[in-house]
């Protein structure tokens, strides 16, 4: 009896063991199917995402438009420059430049977009010119702020640094800035041959710091009729890419001894004539063009003169050229915007 009972018990244990093993095997099988299914689904998702990425970025077989390609390149370029722009913005605030949002006299925050940012390109030893401009049309202190708040016109003198950093020239500019707060001091050596780069840097930094409708370059020996300028620019505010000035061409001089020598004269053909561009005393570009300069500043070519350089940047773009006689500063007439002094 004991032998028979022992055999039943053993058989029962073996049966239960086989059932347990079978259940575990079934569970493992179902788990394997589940995991395989999820992996297959993930693989399909990855393939789909890769195809979509290829379609969007153009890395695959799909073709995208030139505009889409430029947008992608611009986005990548902007991503790279984000940290640098944040540092520039922090430096600008530290130096006292106004932000895009300013406070009114009653403390309310104004978000009015500036109509134009004017950069008056100046240099060392020209303080008398700057003082004359402050008295004539630009203003200083409260008058300068009133012009910004009421008419949306921001004006700054633009100057570089001395080749001998920290010398008396740099110190005098720093002292003047502390007194007037109307200088944009560039991290660039102030030299006559660097004027085209100086204009390029002004447009780029101004576009980064102010979201204005227009940006204007002016020489420090030019009188500007602010009311006439505002009225003229308002009439062109609906144009996205506009280049306004006293349009001209001119002879390209290949003789090194000539005052207006152009080292790259051979690029302008046998007739040696410059392409159409705005005269350098004063010209205006729209916000879209200033942002184009800001994004592509490391790629833009400069020539011997800032006005020719600016004109070359827009040759391959869909730009509306406005030949405006009021910007011809060589002579003063009723309704003129500028005049040489």
CATH of the domain at 177: 3.90.550.50
Residue 291 lies in a domain: yes
Q: Is the dihedral of CA 326, 329, 330, 333 positive or negative?
A: positive
Which of 120, 79, 99, 115 has the alpha carbon at shortest distance from 209?
99
Strand, helix or coil at 182?
Answer: coil
Residue 59 lies in a domain: no
Predicted local confidence at residue 189, as pLDDT: 93
DSSP 103-143: E-TTS-EE-PPPSEEEEEE--TT-HHHHHHHIIIII--THH
State how far the Cα of 33 lies from the Cα of 64, in Å rounded to an integer.
40
Work out the widest C-alpha separation in the chain, in whole angstroms: 133
Predicted local confidence at residue 265, as pLDDT: 64
Residue 129 lies in a domain: yes
- Residue 310 · residue 224 · CB < 8 Å: no
Strand, helix or coil at 175?
Answer: helix
Residue 271 lies in a domain: no
Question: Would you tell me the crossing angle of helices 226-234 and 142-151 to the nearest 10 degrees?
Answer: 20
Predicted local confidence at residue 52, as pLDDT: 62
Expressed as residue numbers, the domain containing 146 is 116-245+279-340
Residue 37 lies in a domain: no
Residue 158 lies in a domain: yes
- 300 φ, ψ (degrees, to nearest 5): -75, 135
Residues with Cβ < 8 Å from 261, sequence gap 6 or more?
A: 253, 254, 255, 304
Low-confidence ranges of the chain (pLDDT < 50): 1-2, 10, 14, 60-62, 92-110
Predicted local confidence at residue 49, as pLDDT: 59
Residue 68 lies in a domain: no
Residue 138 lies in a domain: yes
Report how many domains make up the chain. 1
């Amino acid at each position: 009896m004991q032998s028979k009972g022992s055999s039943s018990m053993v058989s029962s244990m073996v049966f239960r063991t086989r059932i347990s093993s079978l259940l575990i095997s079934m569970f493992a099988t179902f788990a394997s199917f589940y995991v395989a299914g999820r992996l297959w689904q993930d693989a399909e998702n990855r393939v789909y995402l890769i195809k979509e990425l290829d379609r969007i970025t153009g890395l695959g077989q799909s073709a995208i438009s030139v505009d889409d390609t430029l947008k992608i390149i611009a986005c990548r370029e902007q991503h790279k420059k984000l940290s640098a722009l944040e540092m520039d913005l922090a430096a600008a605030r530290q130096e006292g430049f106004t932000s895009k949002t300013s406070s009114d006299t009653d403390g309310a925050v104004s978000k009015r977009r500036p109509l134009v940012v004017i950069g008056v390109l100046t240099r060392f030893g020209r303080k008398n010119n700057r003082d004359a401009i402050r008295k004539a049309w630009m203003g200083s202190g409260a008058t300068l702020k009133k012009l910004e708040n009421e008419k949306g016109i921001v004006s700054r003198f633009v100057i570089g640094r001395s080749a001998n950093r920290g010398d008396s020239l740099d110190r005098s500019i720093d002292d003047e800035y502390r007194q007037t707060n109307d200088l944009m001091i560039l991290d660039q050596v102030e030299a006559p041959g660097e004027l085209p780069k100086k204009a390029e840097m002004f447009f780029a930094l101004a576009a980064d710091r102010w979201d204005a409708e227009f940006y204007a370059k002016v020489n420090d020996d030019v009188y500007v009729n602010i009311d006439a300028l505002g009225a003229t620019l308002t009439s062109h505010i609906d144009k996205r890419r506009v280049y306004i000035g006293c349009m001209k061409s001119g002879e390209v001089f290949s003789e090194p001894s000539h005052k207006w020598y152009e080292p790259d004269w051979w690029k302008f053909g046998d007739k040696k004539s410059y392409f159409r561009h705005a005269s350098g005393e004063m010209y205006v570009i729209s916000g879209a063009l200033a942002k184009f300069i800001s994004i592509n500043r490391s790629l833009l070519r400069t020539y011997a003169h800032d006005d020719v350089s600016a004109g070359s940047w827009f040759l391959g773009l869909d730009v509306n050229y406005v030949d405006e006689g009021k910007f011809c500063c060589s002579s003063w007439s009723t309704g003129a915007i500028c005049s040489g002094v």
